[in-house]
Structure 1
Amino acid sequence: MTLMPHRVLQALHRFNAAHPWDHNAHYHRWILRQLPKHFDRALDVGSGSGDLARLLATRAKEVHGIDADPVIVGRARELTPPAAPVTFSVADALTGIPAGSYDVITCVAVIHHLPFTDALTHFRRHLAPGGTLVVVGLAREQTLGDHLLGGAAIPMNAATGWFKNKGRKAPRPVSMTAPTRPADMSFSHIVREARHVLPGARLRRRLFWRYTLVWQQR
């Protein structure tokens, strides 16, 4: 479904390529608003260059970040002050989570690379009683509402990139350089599967081709 003329879309894509910004980092402050002011242990799955893990460390006693890419894990370690209560490790999200339970688990733009139901089940097992899981994910556009929201995000994406970069061309953000693949689950499918594994989970479509999921362990 095309909501804009092809030439307009091409021009916007060229503009976005010249003024990139991190769509995932855009939601980091929102993630913090879903969490307690203070907690003991946090896990960031797919931690990338470590921006979110370092933010979590402003509230947590210890934070573990895991990512399957050894290069970006090395970069995260370089960017993290030695005194910060954060560790990063190269690990698979389904088999390599450090032992123990966590008061907070975050997963941003990663779960569409994993078996969705298995991943949520695994995260649930590692969440402490009263703990909070926050997922920012990608969904495949399917409904008219999906396409309308995606269409509205295109010019807003360009405007945000312009203001964030103050009109200058900018290098591509580090956390956006890892290999990606398109999402294959629609939002309605995601909602059904998520609420089967996590009863009462709150899910919402978001701008910039994202959705959010928040769930608290009882």
Structure 2
Amino acid sequence: MSLLPHRALRALDRFHAARPWDHNARFHRWILRRLPERVGSALDVGCGSGDLARLLAGRAERVHGVDADPEITDRARQLTPAAAPVTYAAADALTGLGDRSYDVITCVAVVHHLPFTRALETFRDRLAPGGTLVIVGVARERTPVDHLLGIASIPLNIVMALLKNRGRTTPRPVSMTARTRPADLTFTEIVREARAVLPGVRLRRRLFWRYTLVWRRR
């Protein structure tokens, strides 16, 4: 989006402020398709209001969501049925995971807030043998491919906003209220560091200013 004139960017910002939709939630079903039908335990790092954690409860016997914001984890508890096998904790994503291992670890639009290599090492060490790590991340645009995908995402983003809101002006979803910051690493840098920590990892650029990372521990 950085190649667009400032006037166009401001117009898009106004449009999406009035018709917000959660880009990250679009990947939730995609994440589920990367996972086994049934697993013992799952960890969602940066769980926010718990949307993905509640979906993971359909696959896992136990789900634990971690987020650094106590207010958003309280909101996640309120939104989660009491019978669901989901717990939440307000904790640091790197130092607050404890010693337990998990069959599935997910992390959506959070890892760019963390020291990238250290985060991957932490997730790797908490993943049980045979487990699956799935990350949906944000990279800094730099290459022509990055910019082309960003430009291609703009009309699709508008269409999705119209479909999600049906022409109405709606408040921002709870999952979109957390503070965010721009990514520091480019996709090329992310690939290089990820391959050094997670042998056999698969990464791919995606539309809507995201990339995906999938790794299975042997």
Using the alignment, how far apart are the partners of 1:171 and 1:30 within structure 2? 25
| 1:74 aligned partner, one-letter code | D
List gaps (5 residues or longer) in structure 2: none
Map 1:62-211 → 2, pairs under 5 A: 62-211=62-211
**Structure 1 stretches of 5 or more lacking a match?**
none
Tell me if structure 2 keeps the 8 A contact 1:19–1:158.
no
How big is the shift at 1:170? 1.2
**Is the 1:12–1:155 Cα contact (8 Å) retained in structure 2?**
no
Contact 1:45 1:106 in 2 (8 A): yes
C-alpha separation between the residues in 1 aligned to 2:2 and 2:212?
Answer: 25
Give the aligned residue type for 2:211. Y
- Measured against aligned partners, the alpha-carbon deviations of 1:42-100 in whole angstroms (never above 9, x if no partner) come to 00000000000000000100000000000000000000000000000011011111431
* Alpha-carbon distance in structure 1 between the residues aligned to 2:144 and 2:173: 31
SS in 2 for 1:96: coil
Q: Could you tell me how far 1:17 is from its partner in structure 2?
A: 1.3
Cα RMSD (Å) of the superposition? 1.2
| 3-state SS, counterpart of residue 133 of structure 1 | strand
Runs of 4+ in 1 over 2 A off after TM superposition: 1-13
- Give the Å deviation of 1:152: 1.3
Q: Distance in 2 between matches of 1:125 and 1:4?
A: 42
Return the alpha-carbon distance in structure 1 between the equivalents of residues 164 and 59 of structure 2: 26
Aligned equivalents of 2:97 and 2:10: distance in 1?
Answer: 41
Distance in 2, Cα, partners of 1:207 & 1:17: 20
For the residues of structure 2 that align with 1:109 and 1:196, how far apart are their CA atoms? 21
**Distance in 2 between the 1:188 and 1:9 partners?**
26
Question: Is the 1:101–1:126 contact (alpha carbons within 8 Å) kept by the matching residues of 2?
Answer: yes
SS in 2 for 1:44: strand
- Per the TM alignment, residue 193 of structure 1 is displaced from its structure 2 partner at its CA by 0.2
**Length, aligned pairs only:** 218
TM-score of the pair, normalised by structure 1:
0.97
